[in-house]
Structure 1
């Protein structure tokens, strides 16, 4: 129930964000891909740090879901310096666990889309998880299991604790912050 509500509630935001992530272009250049990874770093690195400071229920296995290390590795493999992703997005306000779970919904949903992106990046640039595309291929063969596990945990949390409106707010705020960040980085000088 909560997953369906989240999808319906954030559909328009999801579509706007997806349109801003210019990684499915054909042809896709290495420079475009590097810029997308830099933008993702500016959002994911501080956001995952913020989430790690919250007391998320263990059932969500947040540490196993973090993608910052994969993103940093991709950036390093592709020759981006430490300062190349120094800019940080304005993060969504996540003042409750329920808000954070809405945020995780957005990040986990992006991971589902990452599989399609990873295939495209491999076809276009011959990049694999081993040589620069680990972030988008993050869960590998366990993607389906990780998504089902997340959905079950979220449904269980909502059934036990309520807070559906805060979960929806957290997702909406995360999509909004990501959209603002991507619009900013899209127009930023190279």
Structure 2
């Protein structure tokens, strides 16, 4: 199953992202508003440079099966930027999506951040200093986070042939690398 293949082969990238964003501070309640601004701004830049390209690379079949119309996150994170008095930016980096398999790998990174974001939102809502924060991006699916992730994994695992696993992995690594280096 490609979802397990991705999980195993991107673990070091996932760990690097958690380190970059000081994730351990979220759970020991020392995460600050500046830490939160950093994580929102970096995810915003990732979505700004990738979301439209990913969605445009997925054919009608994937668009329907993945419910792409319900997965748009850029407008949500832009609300978070505004509430944090952070500026919208123009896309300044090049990020190429070579095919739909790479797009699926990139989407794996974004959907995974949504899954983790739900946990982050729950933790931070109990942390001092976050009372006034609305978690538009991290809380985007609300109670549907589990079902949306399950749907995404099912589509990946049923639609991607083993011959294409490396292309999907290439997309995931490409977006993780972008996330870890953009600022």
User: Is the TM value for this pair above 0.5?
Assistant: yes
Q: What is residue 188 of structure 1 aligned with on the other side?
A: none
Instruction: Return the alpha-carbon distance in structure 2 between the equivalents of residues 24 and 123 of structure 1.
Output: 15
> Contact 1:91–1:177 (CA<8 Å) still a contact in 2?
no
What is residue 153 of structure 1 aligned with on the other side? 155
Indicate the larger mover: 59-68 or 146-155.
59-68
**Distance of aligned partners of 1:4 and 1:48 in 2 relative to their CA distance in 1, 3 Å threshold:** same
Equivalent position SS for 1:41: helix
CA distance in 2, matches of 1:32, 1:9: 27
- Using the alignment, how far apart are the partners of 1:179 and 1:70 within structure 2? 21
Equivalent residue runs for 1:25-174 within 5 Å: 25=25, 26-56=29-59, 57-58=62-63, 59-80=65-86, 84-86=87-89, 88=91, 90-124=93-127, 125-127=129-131, 131-159=133-161, 162-174=163-175
Matched residues in 1 for 2:179 and 2:85: separation? Answer: 24
Partner of 1:4: 4
Q: Secondary structure at the match of 2:6?
A: helix
Q: Assess if the C-alpha contact under 8 Å between 1:98 and 1:163 holds in 2.
A: yes
The worse-fitting range, judged by mean Cα deviation, of 86-95 and 134-143 is 86-95
Q: Shift of the alpha carbon at 1:49?
A: 2.1
Whole-angstrom CA distance in 2 between matches of 1:100 and 1:55: 7
> What secondary structure does 1:53 align onto?
helix
Task: Output the CA distance in 1 between the equivalents of 2:177 and 2:15.
Answer: 12
Q: Report the CA distance shift for 1:91/1:110 in structure 2 as closer, same or farther (over 3 A).
A: farther
Post-superposition offset of 1:46: 2.3
Q: TM-score, normalised by structure 2?
A: 0.85
Number of residue pairs the alignment of both structures matches: 176
Question: Could you tell me whether the CA contact under 8 Å between 1:99 and 1:168 is conserved in 2?
Answer: yes
The alignment's TM-score, normalised by the length of structure 1, stands at 0.82
